[in-house]
Structure 1
Amino acid sequence: MALKTRSNVAHAALALAVSLSLGAGPLAVPARAEVKPAGPESVADLAEGLLDAVVNISTSQNVKSDDKAPIPQVPEGSPFQDFFDDFFKGEDGSNQPQTVNSLGSGFVIDPKGFIATNNHVIEGADDIEVNFANGSKLKAKLVGTDPKTDLALLKVEPKAPLKAVPFGDSRTMRIGDWVMAIGNPFGLGGSVTVGIISARGRNINAGPYDNFIQTDAAINRGNSGGPLFNMKGEVIGINTAIISPSGGSIGIGFSVPTELAENIFLQLRDYGETRRGWLGVRIQPVTDDIAESLGMTETKGALVAGVIKGGPVDNGSIMTGDVIVRFDGKDVHEMRDLPRVVAESPVGKAVDVVLLRGGKEMTVKITLGRLEDGEKQADPADEATPDEGTTEEGTAPDTEEQALPKNIETVLGMGIGELDEDARKTFNIVESVKGVVITEVAPGSAAAERGIVPGDVIVEVGQEAVTTAEEVKSRVAKLKSEDRRNVLMMVSNRTGALRYITVRID
Structure 2
Amino acid sequence: MKQFSKLFLVSLLSGAVTLGAYKLLFDDNGYFANRQGPLTTASSDSYTKRVGLSSELLDFTEAAENTVHTVVHVKNVSYKTISNPMLEYFYGYKGGQSQEQVGTGSGVIISADGYIVTNNHVVKDASEIEITLNNKKSYKAKLIGTDSKMDIALLKIDADEKLPYSSFGNSDSVKVGEWVLAVGNPYNLTSTVTAGIVSAKARNLGTNGIQSFIQTDAAVNPGNSGGALVNTRGDLIGINTMISSMTGSYVGYSFAVPSNIARKIIEDIMEYGNVQRGILGVEGGELNAMASKELGVAQTEGFYINKVTKNSGAEKSGLKKGDVIVKLDNQNIATFADLSGYINTKRPNDKIAVTINRDGTLKTIPVSLSKNEFFTTVFKGIELENIDAADKKKFKITYGVKIRAITNENLMQYDQELRGNIILSIDNVKARDIETVSKLLNDKEESKSMRLEMINKNGELIRIII
Indicate yes or no: 2:84 matched with 1:62: no
Residue 367 of structure 1, CA deviation: 1.6
Distance between the aligned counterparts of 1:206 and 1:383, measured in 2?
27
Distance between the aligned counterparts of 2:381 and 2:253, measured in 1?
34
Q: Pick from 63, 67, 71 the counterpart of residue 50 of structure 1.
A: 67
Distance between the aligned counterparts of 1:383 and 1:124, measured in 2?
37
Q: Indicate if the aligned counterparts of 1:208 and 1:339 stay in contact, CA closer than 8 A.
A: no
**CA gap 1:384/1:159 in 2 versus in 1, 3 angstroms:** farther
**CA gap 1:202/1:452 in 2 versus in 1, 3 angstroms:** closer
Residue in structure 2 matched with residue 97 of structure 1 by the alignment: 98
Residue in structure 1 matched with residue 203 of structure 2 by the alignment: 202
Indicate yes or no: 2:249 matched with 1:236: no
Residue 128 of structure 1, CA deviation: 0.9
Distance between the aligned counterparts of 1:221 and 1:382, measured in 2?
42
Residue 58 of structure 1, CA deviation: 0.5
Residue 359 of structure 1, CA deviation: 5.3
Percent identity of the aligned residues? Answer: 32
Q: Indicate if the aligned counterparts of 1:303 and 1:335 stay in contact, CA closer than 8 A.
A: no
Residue 39 of structure 1, CA deviation: 9.0
Secondary structure at the aligned position of 2:256 is classed as strand
Secondary structure at the aligned position of 2:163 is classed as coil
Query: What letter is aligned with 2:218?
Result: A
Distance between the aligned counterparts of 2:74 and 2:191, measured in 1?
11
Query: What letter is aligned with 1:189?
Result: T
Gaps of at least 5 residues in structure 1 are 1-34, 74-88, 386-423, 432-449, 456-493, 496-506
Q: Indicate if the aligned counterparts of 2:317 and 2:367 stay in contact, CA closer than 8 A.
A: no
* Higher mean C-alpha deviation, range 316-325 or range 109-118: 316-325
Q: Report the RMSD for the aligned CA atoms in angstroms.
A: 3.8
Secondary structure at the aligned position of 1:162 is classed as coil
Q: Indicate if the aligned counterparts of 1:305 and 1:320 stay in contact, CA closer than 8 A.
A: yes
**Which deviations, in whole Å up to 9, do the C-alpha atoms of 1:433-465 show, x marking residues without a partner?**
xxxxxxxxxxxxxxxxx956389xxxxxxxxxx
**CA gap 1:36/1:357 in 2 versus in 1, 3 angstroms:** closer
Residue 426 of structure 1, CA deviation: 6.1
Residue in structure 2 matched with residue 438 of structure 1 by the alignment: none
Residue in structure 1 matched with residue 177 of structure 2 by the alignment: 176
For 1:96-495, what aligned pairs fall within 5 Å after superposition? Answer: 96-288=97-289, 290-292=291-293, 296-315=297-316, 317-357=318-358, 360-371=361-372, 373-374=373-374, 377-381=375-379, 425=409, 451=445, 453=447
Secondary structure at the aligned position of 1:338 is classed as helix
Secondary structure at the aligned position of 1:98 is classed as strand
**CA gap 1:329/1:234 in 2 versus in 1, 3 angstroms:** closer
Q: Indicate if the aligned counterparts of 1:240 and 1:254 stay in contact, CA closer than 8 A.
A: yes
Distance between the aligned counterparts of 1:283 and 1:140, measured in 2?
42
For 1:23-42, what aligned pairs fall within 5 Å after superposition? Answer: none
**CA gap 1:367/1:425 in 2 versus in 1, 3 angstroms:** closer
Query: What letter is aligned with 2:126?
Result: A
Distance between the aligned counterparts of 2:234 and 2:213, measured in 1?
20
Residue in structure 2 matched with residue 20 of structure 1 by the alignment: none
Query: What letter is aligned with 1:217?
Result: A
**CA gap 1:291/1:218 in 2 versus in 1, 3 angstroms:** closer
Distance between the aligned counterparts of 1:324 and 1:430, measured in 2?
40
**CA gap 1:193/1:345 in 2 versus in 1, 3 angstroms:** same
Query: What letter is aligned with 1:62?
Result: Y
Query: What letter is aligned with 1:453?
Result: S
- TM-score (norm. length: structure 2): 0.65
Q: Indicate if the aligned counterparts of 2:73 and 2:185 stay in contact, CA closer than 8 A.
A: yes
Distance between the aligned counterparts of 1:185 and 1:69, measured in 2?
39
Distance between the aligned counterparts of 1:313 and 1:199, measured in 2?
29
**Which deviations, in whole Å up to 9, do the C-alpha atoms of 1:467-490 show, x marking residues without a partner?**
xxxxxxxxxxxxxxxxxxxxxxxx
Distance between the aligned counterparts of 1:286 and 1:246, measured in 2?
33
* Higher mean C-alpha deviation, range 220-229 or range 334-343: 334-343
**Which deviations, in whole Å up to 9, do the C-alpha atoms of 1:378-425 show, x marking residues without a partner?**
25549989xxxxxxxxxxxxxxxxxxxxxxxxxxxxxxxxxxxxxx75
Distance between the aligned counterparts of 2:136 and 2:199, measured in 1?
34
Residue in structure 1 matched with residue 28 of structure 2 by the alignment: none
Residue 103 of structure 1, CA deviation: 0.4
Distance between the aligned counterparts of 2:219 and 2:273, measured in 1?
32
Larger Rg: 1
**CA gap 1:145/1:452 in 2 versus in 1, 3 angstroms:** closer
Query: What letter is aligned with 1:192?
Result: V
**CA gap 1:427/1:347 in 2 versus in 1, 3 angstroms:** closer
Query: What letter is aligned with 1:378?
Result: T
Query: What letter is aligned with 2:69?
Result: D
* Higher mean C-alpha deviation, range 331-340 or range 111-120: 331-340
Distance between the aligned counterparts of 2:299 and 2:327, measured in 1?
14
* Higher mean C-alpha deviation, range 109-118 or range 167-176: 167-176
**CA gap 1:289/1:170 in 2 versus in 1, 3 angstroms:** closer
Gaps of at least 5 residues in structure 2 are 1-51, 384-407, 416-443, 450-464
**CA gap 1:284/1:428 in 2 versus in 1, 3 angstroms:** farther
Q: Indicate if the aligned counterparts of 1:308 and 1:382 stay in contact, CA closer than 8 A.
A: no
Residue 334 of structure 1, CA deviation: 2.3
Q: Indicate if the aligned counterparts of 2:67 and 2:166 stay in contact, CA closer than 8 A.
A: yes
